[in-house]
Amino acid sequence: MERRLSTGITGLDEVLYGGFLPERAYLIRGTPGAGKTILGLHFLLEGVKNNEPVLFITLSESEKSIRSNAERLNLPINGLTILDLSPESEFFIKVESYDIFSPAEVEREPITKKIVEEVERLKPKRVFIDSMTQFRYLATDVYQFRRQSLSFLRFLKEKEATVLFTSENSPEAPDEDLQFLCDGIIELNVDLEKGRTLKVLKFRGSNFRTGRHSYKITDNGMVVFPKILPEEKSFEHKREVISSGILQLDEMLKGGIERGTVTIITGPSGVGKTTLGAQFVKEASVRGENSCIYFFEENPDIFIQRCESIGMPVKAMLKKGTLKIQRVEPLIYTADEFAHQVRKDVEGIGARVVMIDSVGGYKISLKGEDLAASLHSLSRYFADSGVTVILSNETETIAGEFKPTEQGISFIADNIIFLRYLEIKGELKKAIGVLKKRLSDFEKTLREFEITSNGIIIGQPLTKLRGILKGIPDLMD
């Protein structure tokens, strides 16, 4: 396997399949404030951690400012060599003029000399240049800038250095020419609605994880959340049937649901979707398996109180460590960040059942991205790992025309269990049915569904009613 240099950011290493290829040059481009300098600092500090000589060449921001900002992000900058070539305050005071030669010709030579001397002295294995755009102003024309940049990068690579450099892309100073000179391009983007995203546009000599990946700037620097793709993780696991713990429901499902499948529990508000999903989680705890429940809408404390009131020992499960419950704020978490958290929990506690409540809340975290594609990737990734996934989906209609999801996500599910309100002789009741079961047959009749102080009760098949899916059934003679 070819040697890689870690970026210093775990999630970014995952996107790059291990990190940067050594002795190559990579462009980090993006809008102001996107985090280009922070990414470069992580890269250099990873080298410091490995006892490698590293060099930060700054042509715009002062060394004092760089060190101050790094300290605010809790980045340990001891051992970091910074070559400060940014303009000093005296430059403004003296206002030097050049009567014969252009400023570019006069200033280029001393800057080049300083860089060469520092590189020869330090012999760095990692170099970060912030920003290469400044060299444009030391060249008399575009052709000379391109030649100088190519020669400079080649000089550093011949000294066995791996180079990261930034650009300040703007209409006045486009960076298309720099994109041709590098071995790879990482683009950072900041959108007020969709948040921060990262995309690899070019990575010569290696594959990488495509698409846009979320990232955040935290108190400890940059954190990248790689987009989960289902085909990347597929393990052999036993296709065993797991029980719901309710005899009548198992009869409807011909034994239960299969491990490593995706089950959508769908129905209108208040019908009992979350409680039914929690029943599968409870039964997992009985088997000694760990589970996770993620709430996008409901308060976990209310959920715990409700479960305890019907004899479902959620508190004992939490105390025992077989259950983890987490409230997810969709306006704060991105979909990629949430997926990263679920993966961390699944791998950390060995969870075998994951429940997401609900699809509507998860949709908010997507910030305009395609719901079906994102939910499919997330669900299939964990299901292919042998984790049983349960999705709670709320339908808008209480009665009338029956729609299983209204979100166009039915294809994601291996199993669809639906709950329905019924009006029978002026009394509001509930019914449960199985609409889809990919790996086995299932009962085609509906049954009465009730949540009592003794738990969930499912009655006998409602064979004497017709028009149940309309919500107002008729009694058959």
Given a cut of 80, whether residue 208 has pLDDT beyond it is yes
- Tokens, residue 226: 């790689």
For residues 215 and 135, the model is more confident at 215
Q: Residue 265, CB half-sphere, CA atoms under 13 Å: how many?
A: 25
Residues of the domain holding 184: 10-227
Q: Residue 148 has what DSSP assignment?
A: H
Q: Residue 147, CB half-sphere, CA atoms under 13 Å: how many?
A: 6
Residue of 418, 440, 442 lying closest to 431 (CA atoms): 418
Question: Are residues 54 and 163 part of one domain?
Answer: yes
Residue of 425, 404, 422, 424 lying closest to 413 (CA atoms): 404
Q: Are 180 and 33 in contact (CB under 8 A)?
A: no
- pLDDT score, position 106: 40
What is the H or E stretch that residue 11 is in?
Answer: helix 10-15
Give the domain-ending residue among 192, 227, 262: 227
Which of the four pLDDT bands, split at 50, 70 and 90, describes residue 50? very high
Q: Where are the extended beta strands (E) located within 12-125?
A: 25-30, 54-58, 81-84
Of the chain, the end-to-end C-alpha distance in Å amounts to: 74
Residue whose tokens read 């060394």: 63
- DSSP line for 333-348: S-HHHHHHHHHHHHHH
Question: Are residues 208 and 173 part of one domain?
Answer: yes
Question: Are residues 197 and 261 part of one domain?
Answer: no
Domain count along the chain = 2
Question: Are residues 150 and 71 part of one domain?
Answer: yes
Q: Kindly state the average pLDDT of the residues 374-396.
A: 89
Give the domain-ending residue among 227, 262, 288: 227
In whole angstroms, what is the distance from residue 356 CA to residue 18 CA? 31
**3-class SS at 163?**
strand
Question: Are residues 309 and 192 part of one domain?
Answer: no
Given a cut of 70, whether residue 293 has pLDDT beyond it is yes
Which of the four pLDDT bands, split at 50, 70 and 90, describes residue 101? very low
Question: Are residues 235 and 125 part of one domain?
Answer: no
Q: Is residue 1 part of a domain?
A: no
Which of the four pLDDT bands, split at 50, 70 and 90, describes residue 93? very low
Residue of 285, 264, 26 lying closest to 156 (CA atoms): 26
C-alpha of 94 from chain center:
51
Q: What is the CATH number of the domain that holds 126?
A: 3.40.50.300
Question: Are residues 201 and 164 part of one domain?
Answer: yes
For residues 15 and 104, the model is more confident at 15
Q: Is residue 3 part of a domain?
A: no
Given a cut of 70, whether residue 231 has pLDDT beyond it is no
192-206: b or e for each residue (b if 16 or more CB lie within 10 Å)?
Answer: eeebbbbbbeebeeb
In whole angstroms, what is the distance from residue 55 CA to residue 37 CA? 13
Question: Are residues 467 and 364 part of one domain?
Answer: yes
Give the domain-ending residue among 227, 244, 259: 227
C-alpha of 165 from chain center:
26
Question: Are residues 109 and 97 part of one domain?
Answer: yes
Q: Where are the extended beta strands (E) located within 358-407?
A: 388-394
Question: Are residues 240 and 217 part of one domain?
Answer: no
Question: Are residues 138 and 111 part of one domain?
Answer: yes
CA distances from 211 to 142, 276, 335, 380, 384 (A): 32, 36, 13, 18, 21
For the segment 17-34, what is each residue's pLDDT rounded down to a tens digit? 999 999 999 999 998 889
